[in-house]
Copies of this chain bind each other. A is one copy, B any other.
Amino acid sequence: MSKAAIIGGGVIGGGWAARFLLNGWDVAVFDPDPQAERKIGEVLSNARRALPALYDRALPPEGRLTFHADMTEAVAGADWIQESVPETLALKHRILPTIQAAASPDAVIGSSTSGFKPSELNGPGTRAIVAHPFNPVYLLPLVELVGDPATCARAAEILRGIGMYPLIVRKEIDAHIADRLLEAIWREALWLVKDGIATTEEIDESIRMGFGIRWAQMGLFETYRIAGGEAGMAHFMAQFGPALSWPWTRLMDVPEFNDELVDLIADQSDAQSGHLSIRELERLRDDNVVGMIRALKRTSSGAGGVVCAHEERLAAPSERDGLPITAMRQVPVSWTDYNSHMNETHYLEAASQATDRFMEMIGADAAYIASGRSYFTVENHIRYLDEVHAGDRLTITTQVLAGQGKRLHLFHRLWRGDDTLAATVETMLLHTDLSTRRTSEPDAAVSERLAGWVASHAGRAADGAGRFVGQPAGM
Protein backbone atom coordinates (compact mmCIF):
# COMPACT_ATOMS: atom_id res chain seq x y z
CA MET A 1 0.00 0.00 0.00
CA SER A 2 1.39 3.41 -1.00
CA LYS A 3 1.15 6.39 1.34
CA ALA A 4 0.75 10.11 0.61
CA ALA A 5 1.30 12.88 3.16
CA ILE A 6 -0.77 16.02 2.65
CA ILE A 7 0.68 19.12 4.33
CA GLY A 8 -2.03 21.78 4.32
CA GLY A 9 -5.62 20.64 3.93
CA GLY A 10 -7.46 23.45 2.15
CA VAL A 11 -9.33 23.08 -1.13
CA ILE A 12 -6.13 22.10 -2.98
CA GLY A 13 -4.67 19.85 -0.26
CA GLY A 14 -8.09 18.27 0.21
CA GLY A 15 -8.33 17.66 -3.52
CA TRP A 16 -4.92 15.92 -3.48
CA ALA A 17 -6.03 13.83 -0.50
CA ALA A 18 -9.18 12.75 -2.36
CA ARG A 19 -7.28 11.94 -5.57
CA PHE A 20 -4.84 9.66 -3.70
CA LEU A 21 -7.43 8.05 -1.38
CA LEU A 22 -9.88 7.17 -4.15
CA ASN A 23 -7.00 5.57 -6.03
CA GLY A 24 -6.28 3.27 -3.12
CA TRP A 25 -3.46 5.22 -1.39
CA ASP A 26 -3.33 5.72 2.36
CA VAL A 27 -3.34 9.43 3.14
CA ALA A 28 -1.93 11.19 6.22
CA VAL A 29 -2.94 14.82 6.67
CA PHE A 30 -1.17 17.52 8.66
CA ASP A 31 -2.97 20.83 9.07
CA PRO A 32 -3.03 22.87 12.31
CA ASP A 33 -6.47 24.31 11.35
CA PRO A 34 -9.01 22.79 13.82
CA GLN A 35 -11.50 22.76 10.90
CA ALA A 36 -9.19 20.70 8.68
CA GLU A 37 -11.00 17.40 9.22
CA ARG A 38 -14.38 18.91 8.41
CA LYS A 39 -13.02 20.75 5.34
CA ILE A 40 -11.32 17.68 3.90
CA GLY A 41 -14.48 15.68 4.60
CA GLU A 42 -16.44 18.11 2.42
CA VAL A 43 -13.98 17.87 -0.46
CA LEU A 44 -13.98 14.08 -0.12
CA SER A 45 -17.74 13.89 -0.26
CA ASN A 46 -17.71 15.86 -3.53
CA ALA A 47 -14.90 13.68 -4.87
CA ARG A 48 -16.58 10.37 -4.00
CA ARG A 49 -19.58 11.52 -5.99
CA ALA A 50 -17.66 12.75 -9.03
CA LEU A 51 -14.34 10.99 -9.66
CA PRO A 52 -15.66 7.40 -9.92
CA ALA A 53 -18.37 8.73 -12.26
CA LEU A 54 -15.66 9.33 -14.88
CA TYR A 55 -14.95 5.63 -15.10
CA ASP A 56 -16.77 2.62 -16.50
CA ARG A 57 -14.82 0.36 -14.15
CA ALA A 58 -14.56 0.38 -10.38
CA LEU A 59 -11.64 2.25 -8.81
CA PRO A 60 -9.62 0.27 -6.24
CA PRO A 61 -10.89 0.18 -2.63
CA GLU A 62 -10.28 3.50 -0.86
CA GLY A 63 -7.13 3.90 1.22
CA ARG A 64 -7.10 4.89 4.89
CA LEU A 65 -7.32 8.57 5.87
CA THR A 66 -5.57 9.75 9.06
CA PHE A 67 -5.03 13.16 10.64
CA HIS A 68 -1.85 14.02 12.53
CA ALA A 69 -0.99 16.80 14.95
CA ASP A 70 2.68 16.28 14.18
CA MET A 71 4.08 16.98 10.71
CA THR A 72 6.95 14.52 11.14
CA GLU A 73 4.51 11.71 11.93
CA ALA A 74 2.38 12.49 8.87
CA VAL A 75 5.43 12.51 6.59
CA ALA A 76 7.07 9.33 7.96
CA GLY A 77 7.16 6.53 5.40
CA ALA A 78 5.24 8.49 2.74
CA ASP A 79 6.02 7.86 -0.94
CA TRP A 80 4.62 11.24 -1.94
CA ILE A 81 4.54 14.37 0.24
CA GLN A 82 2.51 17.29 -1.06
CA GLU A 83 2.87 20.78 0.39
CA SER A 84 -0.22 22.98 -0.16
CA VAL A 85 0.16 25.70 2.46
CA PRO A 86 -0.72 29.36 1.70
CA GLU A 87 1.24 31.05 -1.07
CA THR A 88 3.96 32.90 0.89
CA LEU A 89 7.60 32.10 0.40
CA ALA A 90 8.49 32.58 4.07
CA LEU A 91 5.98 29.94 5.14
CA LYS A 92 7.14 27.48 2.52
CA HIS A 93 10.77 28.09 3.55
CA ARG A 94 9.85 27.19 7.12
CA ILE A 95 7.93 24.03 6.25
CA LEU A 96 9.97 22.42 3.46
CA PRO A 97 13.11 21.74 5.61
CA THR A 98 10.93 20.04 8.26
CA ILE A 99 9.37 17.86 5.58
CA GLN A 100 12.76 17.09 4.08
CA ALA A 101 14.18 16.03 7.46
CA ALA A 102 11.35 13.56 8.09
CA ALA A 103 10.95 12.25 4.54
CA SER A 104 12.13 8.89 3.21
CA PRO A 105 15.16 9.43 0.95
CA ASP A 106 13.26 8.41 -2.18
CA ALA A 107 9.98 10.20 -1.43
CA VAL A 108 8.72 12.75 -3.96
CA ILE A 109 8.24 16.13 -2.27
CA GLY A 110 5.85 18.25 -4.34
CA SER A 111 4.72 21.83 -3.80
CA SER A 112 1.31 23.00 -5.06
CA THR A 113 2.66 26.54 -5.55
CA SER A 114 1.04 28.31 -8.46
CA GLY A 115 3.73 30.96 -8.75
CA PHE A 116 7.11 30.10 -7.25
CA LYS A 117 9.99 28.47 -9.09
CA PRO A 118 11.88 25.48 -7.60
CA SER A 119 14.99 27.67 -7.26
CA GLU A 120 12.95 30.02 -5.06
CA LEU A 121 11.31 27.25 -3.04
CA ASN A 122 14.42 25.27 -2.24
CA GLY A 123 17.14 26.33 0.16
CA PRO A 124 20.24 24.32 0.96
CA GLY A 125 19.24 20.73 1.73
CA THR A 126 15.69 20.73 0.36
CA ARG A 127 14.77 19.14 -2.95
CA ALA A 128 11.09 19.88 -3.56
CA ILE A 129 9.69 19.98 -7.06
CA VAL A 130 6.72 22.04 -8.18
CA ALA A 131 3.66 19.80 -8.65
CA HIS A 132 1.00 22.37 -9.47
CA PRO A 133 -2.54 20.94 -9.82
CA PHE A 134 -5.82 22.56 -10.83
CA ASN A 135 -9.03 22.83 -8.88
CA PRO A 136 -10.93 20.49 -8.57
CA VAL A 137 -7.81 18.35 -8.15
CA TYR A 138 -9.89 15.17 -7.96
CA LEU A 139 -11.29 15.75 -11.45
CA LEU A 140 -8.91 17.81 -13.60
CA PRO A 141 -5.92 15.76 -14.76
CA LEU A 142 -3.31 18.51 -15.24
CA VAL A 143 -0.28 18.72 -12.93
CA GLU A 144 2.60 21.00 -13.95
CA LEU A 145 5.92 19.50 -12.81
CA VAL A 146 8.98 21.74 -12.53
CA GLY A 147 12.38 20.89 -11.06
CA ASP A 148 14.97 18.12 -11.00
CA PRO A 149 14.39 16.06 -14.18
CA ALA A 150 14.87 12.63 -12.55
CA THR A 151 12.46 13.46 -9.73
CA CYS A 152 9.95 14.89 -12.19
CA ALA A 153 10.11 11.71 -14.28
CA ARG A 154 9.47 9.58 -11.21
CA ALA A 155 6.67 11.91 -10.10
CA ALA A 156 5.08 11.75 -13.55
CA GLU A 157 4.86 7.96 -13.36
CA ILE A 158 3.15 8.12 -9.97
CA LEU A 159 0.69 10.76 -11.18
CA ARG A 160 -0.27 8.69 -14.21
CA GLY A 161 -0.99 5.85 -11.78
CA ILE A 162 -3.63 8.00 -10.06
CA GLY A 163 -5.17 9.11 -13.35
CA MET A 164 -3.49 12.49 -13.70
CA TYR A 165 -1.72 14.17 -16.63
CA PRO A 166 1.79 15.35 -15.72
CA LEU A 167 3.12 18.18 -17.88
CA ILE A 168 6.85 18.56 -17.35
CA VAL A 169 7.85 22.22 -17.69
CA ARG A 170 11.38 22.21 -19.06
CA LYS A 171 12.45 25.73 -18.01
CA GLU A 172 11.45 27.22 -14.69
CA ILE A 173 9.49 30.46 -14.97
CA ASP A 174 7.22 32.50 -12.70
CA ALA A 175 3.71 30.99 -12.63
CA HIS A 176 4.76 28.03 -14.84
CA ILE A 177 2.60 27.77 -18.01
CA ALA A 178 -1.16 27.65 -17.41
CA ASP A 179 -1.22 30.44 -14.83
CA ARG A 180 0.69 32.72 -17.19
CA LEU A 181 -2.21 32.36 -19.60
CA LEU A 182 -4.78 32.74 -16.83
CA GLU A 183 -2.98 35.81 -15.59
CA ALA A 184 -3.11 37.47 -19.00
CA ILE A 185 -6.82 36.87 -19.42
CA TRP A 186 -7.62 37.81 -15.81
CA ARG A 187 -5.93 41.18 -16.28
CA GLU A 188 -7.90 41.86 -19.45
CA ALA A 189 -11.16 40.74 -17.81
CA LEU A 190 -10.61 43.10 -14.88
CA TRP A 191 -10.20 45.97 -17.35
CA LEU A 192 -13.45 45.09 -19.09
CA VAL A 193 -15.33 45.12 -15.79
CA LYS A 194 -13.64 48.25 -14.46
CA ASP A 195 -14.36 50.15 -17.68
CA GLY A 196 -17.99 49.07 -17.57
CA ILE A 197 -17.75 47.29 -20.94
CA ALA A 198 -19.05 44.02 -19.56
CA THR A 199 -20.18 42.48 -16.26
CA THR A 200 -18.64 39.35 -14.76
CA GLU A 201 -21.65 37.41 -16.03
CA GLU A 202 -21.33 38.75 -19.58
CA ILE A 203 -17.64 37.85 -19.61
CA ASP A 204 -18.40 34.34 -18.37
CA GLU A 205 -21.03 33.94 -21.09
CA SER A 206 -18.58 35.21 -23.72
CA ILE A 207 -16.26 32.38 -22.69
CA ARG A 208 -18.55 29.42 -22.09
CA MET A 209 -20.83 30.03 -25.08
CA GLY A 210 -17.85 30.22 -27.43
CA PHE A 211 -14.13 29.64 -27.16
CA GLY A 212 -14.29 27.86 -23.79
CA ILE A 213 -15.95 24.90 -25.51
CA ARG A 214 -13.24 24.82 -28.18
CA TRP A 215 -10.47 24.98 -25.61
CA ALA A 216 -11.81 22.21 -23.41
CA GLN A 217 -11.05 19.71 -26.15
CA MET A 218 -8.22 21.14 -28.28
CA GLY A 219 -6.66 24.16 -26.64
CA LEU A 220 -5.48 27.33 -28.38
CA PHE A 221 -3.06 26.47 -31.19
CA GLU A 222 -4.94 23.43 -32.48
CA THR A 223 -8.06 25.57 -32.71
CA TYR A 224 -6.19 28.18 -34.76
CA ARG A 225 -4.66 25.46 -36.92
CA ILE A 226 -8.19 24.57 -37.97
CA ALA A 227 -9.01 28.24 -38.56
CA GLY A 228 -6.03 28.38 -40.93
CA GLY A 229 -7.56 25.62 -43.03
CA GLU A 230 -5.63 23.33 -45.38
CA ALA A 231 -2.90 25.96 -45.77
CA GLY A 232 -2.00 25.42 -42.10
CA MET A 233 -0.71 27.43 -39.23
CA ALA A 234 1.59 29.75 -41.18
CA HIS A 235 -1.40 30.79 -43.26
CA PHE A 236 -3.46 31.47 -40.15
CA MET A 237 -0.72 33.62 -38.69
CA ALA A 238 -0.21 35.50 -41.95
CA GLN A 239 -3.96 36.13 -42.19
CA PHE A 240 -4.67 37.09 -38.60
CA GLY A 241 -1.23 38.01 -37.30
CA PRO A 242 -1.37 41.66 -38.28
CA ALA A 243 -4.91 42.11 -36.94
CA LEU A 244 -3.91 40.41 -33.72
CA SER A 245 -0.96 42.73 -33.45
CA TRP A 246 -3.02 45.89 -33.21
CA PRO A 247 -3.91 45.63 -29.55
CA TRP A 248 -0.33 44.57 -28.83
CA THR A 249 0.53 48.21 -28.90
CA ARG A 250 -2.32 49.16 -26.55
CA LEU A 251 -3.95 47.90 -23.41
CA MET A 252 -0.61 47.43 -21.74
CA ASP A 253 -1.74 49.38 -18.69
CA VAL A 254 -2.67 47.53 -15.56
CA PRO A 255 -5.82 48.32 -13.60
CA GLU A 256 -5.15 49.43 -10.05
CA PHE A 257 -5.99 46.68 -7.60
CA ASN A 258 -8.04 48.53 -4.98
CA ASP A 259 -11.17 48.08 -2.83
CA GLU A 260 -13.34 49.70 -5.43
CA LEU A 261 -12.37 47.11 -8.04
CA VAL A 262 -12.78 44.25 -5.55
CA ASP A 263 -16.27 45.46 -4.60
CA LEU A 264 -17.29 45.92 -8.21
CA ILE A 265 -16.31 42.35 -9.08
CA ALA A 266 -17.75 40.87 -5.88
CA ASP A 267 -21.11 42.64 -6.33
CA GLN A 268 -21.44 41.52 -9.94
CA SER A 269 -20.53 37.99 -9.00
CA ASP A 270 -23.21 37.99 -6.29
CA ALA A 271 -25.77 39.22 -8.80
CA GLN A 272 -24.68 36.48 -11.22
CA SER A 273 -24.89 33.51 -8.88
CA GLY A 274 -25.55 34.58 -5.33
CA HIS A 275 -28.70 32.42 -5.41
CA LEU A 276 -26.50 29.30 -5.33
CA SER A 277 -24.31 28.26 -2.39
CA ILE A 278 -20.69 27.39 -3.07
CA ARG A 279 -21.52 23.74 -2.36
CA GLU A 280 -24.26 23.85 -5.01
CA LEU A 281 -21.92 25.58 -7.47
CA GLU A 282 -19.24 22.96 -6.83
CA ARG A 283 -21.63 20.11 -7.53
CA LEU A 284 -22.96 21.79 -10.65
CA ARG A 285 -19.37 22.29 -11.81
CA ASP A 286 -18.48 18.68 -11.02
CA ASP A 287 -21.54 17.28 -12.81
CA ASN A 288 -20.69 19.36 -15.87
CA VAL A 289 -17.00 18.47 -15.78
CA VAL A 290 -17.79 14.78 -15.40
CA GLY A 291 -20.29 14.92 -18.26
CA MET A 292 -17.84 16.69 -20.58
CA ILE A 293 -14.87 14.45 -19.74
CA ARG A 294 -17.08 11.38 -20.25
CA ALA A 295 -18.07 12.83 -23.64
CA LEU A 296 -14.35 13.24 -24.51
CA LYS A 297 -13.71 9.56 -23.73
CA ARG A 298 -15.43 8.59 -26.98
CA THR A 299 -12.57 10.08 -29.06
CA SER A 300 -9.94 9.68 -26.32
CA SER A 301 -9.35 13.44 -26.56
CA GLY A 302 -7.65 15.44 -23.81
CA ALA A 303 -8.89 14.56 -20.34
CA GLY A 304 -11.11 11.85 -21.84
CA GLY A 305 -8.00 10.12 -23.17
CA VAL A 306 -6.40 10.30 -19.72
CA VAL A 307 -9.41 8.54 -18.18
CA CYS A 308 -9.41 5.87 -20.92
CA ALA A 309 -5.73 5.11 -20.34
CA HIS A 310 -6.22 4.96 -16.57
CA GLU A 311 -9.30 2.77 -16.92
CA GLU A 312 -7.26 0.20 -18.88
CA ARG A 313 -4.95 -0.09 -15.87
CA LEU A 314 -7.76 -0.78 -13.39
CA ALA A 315 -7.89 -4.41 -12.32
CA ALA A 316 -10.67 -6.39 -13.97
CA PRO A 317 -12.95 -8.05 -11.40
CA SER A 318 -13.21 -11.85 -11.22
CA GLU A 319 -16.30 -13.85 -10.21
CA ARG A 320 -19.43 -14.06 -8.04
CA ASP A 321 -21.74 -17.05 -7.38
CA GLY A 322 -19.59 -19.08 -9.77
CA LEU A 323 -20.28 -16.68 -12.64
CA PRO A 324 -17.76 -14.30 -14.23
CA ILE A 325 -18.06 -10.63 -13.22
CA THR A 326 -18.19 -8.76 -16.53
CA ALA A 327 -18.65 -5.25 -15.13
CA MET A 328 -18.20 -3.45 -11.84
CA ARG A 329 -18.72 0.30 -11.61
CA GLN A 330 -20.21 3.24 -9.76
CA VAL A 331 -23.37 4.83 -11.16
CA PRO A 332 -22.70 8.39 -12.43
CA VAL A 333 -25.21 11.11 -11.63
CA SER A 334 -25.61 11.68 -15.37
CA TRP A 335 -27.33 8.27 -15.56
CA THR A 336 -30.21 9.40 -13.34
CA ASP A 337 -33.47 11.01 -14.45
CA TYR A 338 -36.53 12.96 -13.29
CA ASN A 339 -37.56 10.05 -11.06
CA SER A 340 -34.27 10.49 -9.10
CA HIS A 341 -33.01 7.03 -10.00
CA MET A 342 -30.99 5.39 -12.76
CA ASN A 343 -32.86 5.75 -16.02
CA GLU A 344 -34.02 2.58 -17.78
CA THR A 345 -31.57 3.21 -20.64
CA HIS A 346 -28.48 2.87 -18.46
CA TYR A 347 -29.38 -0.57 -17.13
CA LEU A 348 -28.92 -1.60 -20.73
CA GLU A 349 -25.79 0.54 -21.17
CA ALA A 350 -24.16 -1.24 -18.24
CA ALA A 351 -25.29 -4.65 -19.54
CA SER A 352 -24.03 -3.78 -23.02
CA GLN A 353 -20.57 -3.12 -21.56
CA ALA A 354 -20.81 -6.50 -19.82
CA THR A 355 -21.60 -8.13 -23.19
CA ASP A 356 -18.54 -6.39 -24.69
CA ARG A 357 -16.41 -7.77 -21.86
CA PHE A 358 -17.79 -11.29 -22.35
CA MET A 359 -17.00 -11.04 -26.06
CA GLU A 360 -13.40 -10.17 -25.15
CA MET A 361 -13.30 -13.19 -22.84
CA ILE A 362 -14.13 -15.53 -25.73
CA GLY A 363 -11.67 -13.80 -28.06
CA ALA A 364 -14.14 -11.60 -29.95
CA ASP A 365 -12.06 -8.58 -28.94
CA ALA A 366 -10.93 -5.38 -30.68
CA ALA A 367 -8.44 -7.23 -32.88
CA TYR A 368 -11.10 -9.78 -33.88
CA ILE A 369 -13.52 -6.96 -34.76
CA ALA A 370 -10.77 -5.19 -36.72
CA SER A 371 -10.41 -8.43 -38.71
CA GLY A 372 -14.01 -8.00 -39.89
CA ARG A 373 -16.10 -10.17 -37.57
CA SER A 374 -18.28 -9.29 -34.60
CA TYR A 375 -21.51 -10.08 -32.78
CA PHE A 376 -24.68 -8.01 -33.34
CA THR A 377 -27.43 -7.89 -30.71
CA VAL A 378 -30.84 -8.96 -32.07
CA GLU A 379 -32.92 -8.99 -28.87
CA ASN A 380 -32.82 -7.73 -25.29
CA HIS A 381 -35.29 -8.35 -22.48
CA ILE A 382 -34.76 -6.21 -19.40
CA ARG A 383 -36.56 -6.83 -16.11
CA TYR A 384 -36.26 -3.86 -13.72
CA LEU A 385 -36.44 -5.34 -10.23
CA ASP A 386 -35.25 -2.50 -8.04
CA GLU A 387 -34.19 1.15 -8.18
CA VAL A 388 -30.54 2.15 -8.53
CA HIS A 389 -29.19 5.56 -7.49
CA ALA A 390 -26.22 7.79 -8.31
CA GLY A 391 -23.18 6.56 -6.44
CA ASP A 392 -24.42 2.97 -6.09
CA ARG A 393 -21.99 0.23 -7.00
CA LEU A 394 -23.22 -2.04 -9.80
CA THR A 395 -21.77 -5.50 -10.32
CA ILE A 396 -22.79 -7.57 -13.34
CA THR A 397 -22.41 -11.33 -13.73
CA THR A 398 -22.88 -13.08 -17.04
CA GLN A 399 -24.32 -16.55 -17.58
CA VAL A 400 -24.25 -18.26 -20.97
CA LEU A 401 -27.65 -19.76 -21.79
CA ALA A 402 -26.60 -21.03 -25.21
CA GLY A 403 -23.71 -20.56 -27.61
CA GLN A 404 -23.87 -22.86 -30.61
CA GLY A 405 -23.01 -21.77 -34.14
CA LYS A 406 -23.88 -18.15 -34.83
CA ARG A 407 -26.00 -17.73 -31.71
CA LEU A 408 -24.87 -16.31 -28.40
CA HIS A 409 -27.55 -16.20 -25.72
CA LEU A 410 -26.53 -14.44 -22.49
CA PHE A 411 -28.18 -13.69 -19.16
CA HIS A 412 -26.79 -10.72 -17.19
CA ARG A 413 -27.64 -10.12 -13.54
CA LEU A 414 -27.17 -6.53 -12.29
CA TRP A 415 -26.43 -6.39 -8.57
CA ARG A 416 -26.77 -3.16 -6.60
CA GLY A 417 -24.27 -3.16 -3.73
CA ASP A 418 -23.69 -6.63 -2.32
CA ASP A 419 -27.12 -8.17 -2.05
CA THR A 420 -29.80 -6.63 -4.22
CA LEU A 421 -30.62 -8.01 -7.65
CA ALA A 422 -31.64 -4.78 -9.40
CA ALA A 423 -32.24 -6.13 -12.90
CA THR A 424 -31.74 -8.99 -15.32
CA VAL A 425 -30.91 -8.52 -18.98
CA GLU A 426 -31.43 -11.44 -21.34
CA THR A 427 -29.65 -10.84 -24.62
CA MET A 428 -29.43 -12.69 -27.92
CA LEU A 429 -26.58 -11.98 -30.32
CA LEU A 430 -25.74 -13.32 -33.76
CA HIS A 431 -22.21 -13.61 -35.13
CA THR A 432 -21.85 -11.28 -38.14
CA ASP A 433 -19.49 -10.69 -41.03
CA LEU A 434 -18.79 -6.94 -40.91
CA SER A 435 -18.18 -6.61 -44.65
CA THR A 436 -21.39 -8.33 -45.86
CA ARG A 437 -23.34 -7.38 -42.68
CA ARG A 438 -24.78 -10.94 -42.75
CA THR A 439 -24.67 -13.60 -40.07
CA SER A 440 -21.70 -15.99 -40.22
CA GLU A 441 -19.97 -18.71 -38.21
CA PRO A 442 -17.45 -17.51 -35.65
CA ASP A 443 -13.74 -18.30 -35.83
CA ALA A 444 -12.88 -21.79 -34.49
CA ALA A 445 -10.92 -20.35 -31.54
CA VAL A 446 -13.92 -18.21 -30.52
CA SER A 447 -16.33 -21.17 -30.88
CA GLU A 448 -14.05 -23.30 -28.76
CA ARG A 449 -13.75 -20.78 -25.94
CA LEU A 450 -17.48 -20.20 -26.04
CA ALA A 451 -18.13 -23.96 -25.85
CA GLY A 452 -16.07 -24.04 -22.65
CA TRP A 453 -18.36 -21.44 -21.08
CA VAL A 454 -21.48 -23.23 -22.32
CA ALA A 455 -20.28 -26.45 -20.72
CA SER A 456 -19.39 -24.82 -17.42
CA HIS A 457 -22.79 -23.07 -17.18
CA ALA A 458 -24.84 -26.05 -18.38
CA GLY A 459 -27.80 -26.88 -16.13
CA ARG A 460 -27.66 -23.63 -14.12
CA ALA A 461 -31.00 -21.98 -13.40
CA ALA A 462 -31.70 -18.55 -14.91
CA ASP A 463 -34.77 -17.29 -13.10
CA GLY A 464 -36.49 -14.74 -15.30
CA ALA A 465 -35.11 -15.86 -18.67
CA GLY A 466 -37.40 -17.01 -21.47
CA ARG A 467 -40.27 -14.79 -20.35
CA PHE A 468 -42.37 -12.28 -22.29
CA VAL A 469 -43.29 -8.75 -21.17
CA GLY A 470 -46.14 -8.80 -18.67
CA GLN A 471 -46.03 -12.57 -18.14
CA PRO A 472 -47.73 -13.26 -14.78
CA ALA A 473 -45.32 -14.23 -12.00
CA GLY A 474 -46.55 -17.79 -11.52
CA MET A 475 -46.68 -18.60 -15.22
Does A265 contact B285, Cβ atoms closer than 8 Å? no
The complex places the Cα of A348 from the Cα of B425 at a distance, in Å, of 13
| 13 interchain pairs, CB-CB under 8 A | A167-B209, A177-B197, A184-B185, A184-B187, A184-B188, A204-B219, A213-B216, A225-B269, A242-B257, A291-B296, A376-B384, A379-B382, A427-B469
Give A349-381 as 1s and 0s: 1 = Cβ < 8 Å from B's Cβ atoms.
Answer: 100100000000000001001000010111111
A295 partner, pick from B140, B248, B292, beta carbons under 8 A: B292
Indicate if A243 sits at the interface (CB-CB under 8 A).
yes
The complex places the Cα of A228 from the Cα of B200 at a distance, in Å, of 15
Does A198 contact B212, Cβ atoms closer than 8 Å? no
Task: Report the interface size class on chain A.
Answer: 35 or more
A109: min CB distance to chain B, Å: 22
Q: Which residues of B contact A252 (CB under 8 A)?
A: 252, 254
Give A71-111 as 1s and 0s: 1 = Cβ < 8 Å from B's Cβ atoms.
Answer: 00000000000000001000000000000000000000000
The complex places the Cα of A266 from the Cα of B228 at a distance, in Å, of 11
Chain A positions 287-317 with a Cβ under 8 Å from a chain B Cβ: 287-289, 291-296, 298-299, 301-303, 306
Given contacts A265-B233, A299-B288, contact A215 B217 (CB under 8 A): no
Indicate if A226 sits at the interface (CB-CB under 8 A).
yes
A206: min CB distance to chain B, Å: 4
Q: Which residues of B contact A294 (CB under 8 A)?
A: 295
The complex places the Cα of A257 from the Cα of B292 at a distance, in Å, of 36
The complex places the Cα of A428 from the Cα of B382 at a distance, in Å, of 10
Does B292 contact A217, Cβ atoms closer than 8 Å? yes
Q: Which residues of B contact A230 (CB under 8 A)?
A: 277-278
Copies in the complex: 2
The complex places the Cα of A186 from the Cα of B181 at a distance, in Å, of 8
A117: min CB distance to chain B, Å: 12
Given contacts A215-B216, A254-B249, contact A203 B187 (CB under 8 A): no
A265: min CB distance to chain B, Å: 6
Indicate if A170 sits at the interface (CB-CB under 8 A).
yes
Indicate if A218 sits at the interface (CB-CB under 8 A).
yes
Does B345 contact A248, Cβ atoms closer than 8 Å? no
Does B466 contact A209, Cβ atoms closer than 8 Å? no
Does B466 contact A210, Cβ atoms closer than 8 Å? no
Q: Most chain-B Cβ atoms within 10 A of its Cβ — which of A207, A250, A376?
A: A207
The complex places the Cα of A448 from the Cα of B382 at a distance, in Å, of 29
Q: Which residues of B contact A338 (CB under 8 A)?
A: 366, 369, 374
A204 partner, pick from B213, B221, B263, beta carbons under 8 A: B221
Does B469 contact A381, Cβ atoms closer than 8 Å? yes
Give A50-62 as 1s and 0s: 1 = Cβ < 8 Å from B's Cβ atoms.
Answer: 0000000000000
Q: Which residues of B contact A11 (CB under 8 A)?
A: 227, 229
The complex places the Cα of A110 from the Cα of B105 at a distance, in Å, of 66
The 6 closest A-B pairs by CB, nearest first: A204-B219, A291-B295, A142-B210, A212-B215, A216-B216, A142-B209
